[in-house]
């Protein structure tokens, strides 16, 4: 049985959805960022970085979201990640883009919201970061113009992670991000999947009010 440390609607939601897509047995532990549970001494022993997600598999602690996803998909039967070849490379390439480029850009904006007081400097920082994030979404939108998912006709973990991130505008409205119609179509399709809906319900997230 896996253990997943998550915070509602954070990037850990992608892992939560994937665990449910896999029909895996897991215990989900609410480590709410809003309530500061990620800063508790107990959690910091598990992840000194104070970040979710964390997966514990049979005593092994795995702390980076993309590594957790690859670990889960390499060890459970699934159609989300090709086993070999360029198709697998492409799926990992998009996962890394979602995790290390798109997510990382949003992380910069969360840091600005926390660390720079409201005013001109903060607005300039939001504008610069917002422009980078908008370019990321425009690239995703263009990729999705002629295909259902980022890797073609088969859903892959990157589709799930970008769908989670797409809802963070509720926390960062200052960025004024606009999703193109292809990106929005993909997000709608991914969020409608039963595994995604079950994960939202379990995390008690409704996208209208939370993220
Ligand atoms: N590179 C890490 C980033 C994880 C990350 O930044 N998680 C956010 C939530 S989406 C977090 O835990 N932030 C801690 C905080 O805001 O204090 C990963 O992919 O696992």
Same domain, 89 and 173: yes
Over its C-alpha atoms, the chain yields an Rg (Å, rounded) of 17
Q: For position 165, what pLDDT does the model report?
A: 98
Per-residue pLDDT tens digits for 39-86: 999 999 999 999 999 999 999 999 999 999 999 999 999 999 999 999
User: In this model, does residue 120 exceed pLDDT 70?
Assistant: yes
Distance CA 51, CA 100 (A): 15
CATH number of the domain enclosing 17: 3.40.30.10
CATH number for the domain including 164? 1.20.1050.10
Asked, for residue 208, whether it belongs to a domain, the answer is: no
For residue 211, being part of any structural domain is answered with: no
For 155, the token pair is: 């859903």
pLDDT higher than 90, residue 90: yes
pLDDT at position 208 = 63
Assess if residue 136 is contained within a domain: yes
pTM: predicted TM-score of the whole model, two decimal places: 0.97
Residue 138 lies in a domain: yes
What is the span of the domain harbouring residue 164?
85-193
Pocket-testing residue among 10, 61, 72, 170, ligand 1, by greatest number of atoms within 8 A of Cβ:
10
Asked whether residue 210 carries a pLDDT value surpassing 90, the answer given is no
182 and 121 part of one domain? yes
State yes or no: pLDDT of 211 exceeds 50.
no
Is residue 109 scored above 70 in pLDDT?
yes
Shared domain check, 175 and 105: yes
Indicate which residue's Cα is closest to atom 2 of ligand 1: 64
- Read off the pLDDT of residues 3-51 as tens digits, 9 standing for 90 and up: 999 999 999 999 999 999 999 999 999 999 999 999 999 999 999 999 9
| Residue given tokens 């070849």 in the structure block | 85
Q: Are 157 and 95 in contact (CB under 8 A)?
A: yes
Residues 32 and 103 in one domain: no
Please tell me the number of Cα atoms within 13 Å of 112 on its side-chain side. Answer: 24
Measured distance CA(69)–CA(52) in Å, rounded:
13
Q: pLDDT at position 207, please?
A: 79
71 and 138 in a single domain? The answer is no
Among 11, 38, 53, the mutation site with the greatest number of ligand 1 atoms within 8 A of its Cβ is 11
- Give yes or no: residues 99 and 55 share one domain: no
pLDDT for the residue 185:
98
CA distance 205 to 175: 22
Q: Are residues 68 and 48 in the same domain?
A: yes
- Residue 197, pLDDT score: 97
Average pLDDT, the chain: 96
Question: What angle do the packed helices 157-165 and 65-75 form, to 10 degrees?
Answer: 150
Q: Does one domain contain both 69 and 152?
A: no
Residue 94 sits in the same domain as residue 66: no
User: What is the mean pLDDT of the segment spanning 92-102?
Assistant: 98
**Overall domain count for the chain:** 2
47 lines ligand 1 (CB under 6 A): no
DSSP 6-21: E-TTSTHHHHHHHHHH
Q: How many CB atoms lie within 10 A of CB 97?
A: 19
Kindly state whether residues 89 and 138 are assigned to the same domain. Answer: yes
Residues 43 and 96 in one domain: no
């Amino acid at each position: 049985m896996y253990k997943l440390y998550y915070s509602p609607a954070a990037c850990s939601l992608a892992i939560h959805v994937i665990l449910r897509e896999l029909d895996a047995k897991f215990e989900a532990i609410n480590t709410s960022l809003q309530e500061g549970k990620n800063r508790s001494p107990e959690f910091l022993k598990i992840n000194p970085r104070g970040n979710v997600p964390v997966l514990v598999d049979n005593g092994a602690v795995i702390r980076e979201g993309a590594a957790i996803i690859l670990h889960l998909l390499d060890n459970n039967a699934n159609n989300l990640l090709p086993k070999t070849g360029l198709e697998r490379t492409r799926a990992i390439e998009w996962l890394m883009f979602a995790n290390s480029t798109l997510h990382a850009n949003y992380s910069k904006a969360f840091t600005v919201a926390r660390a720079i007081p409201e005013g001109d400097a903060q607005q300039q920082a939001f504008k610069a970061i917002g422009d980078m994030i908008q370019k990321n979404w425009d690239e995703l939108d263009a990729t999705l113009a002629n295909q259902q998912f980022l890797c073609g006709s088969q859903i892959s973990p990157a589709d799930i992670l970008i769908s989670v991130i797409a809802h963070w505008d509720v926390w960062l409205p200052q960025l004024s991000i606009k999703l193109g119609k292809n990106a929005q179509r993909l997000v709608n399709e991914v969020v409608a999947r039963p595994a995604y809906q079950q994960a939202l319900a379990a995390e008690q997230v409704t996208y209208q009010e939370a993220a």
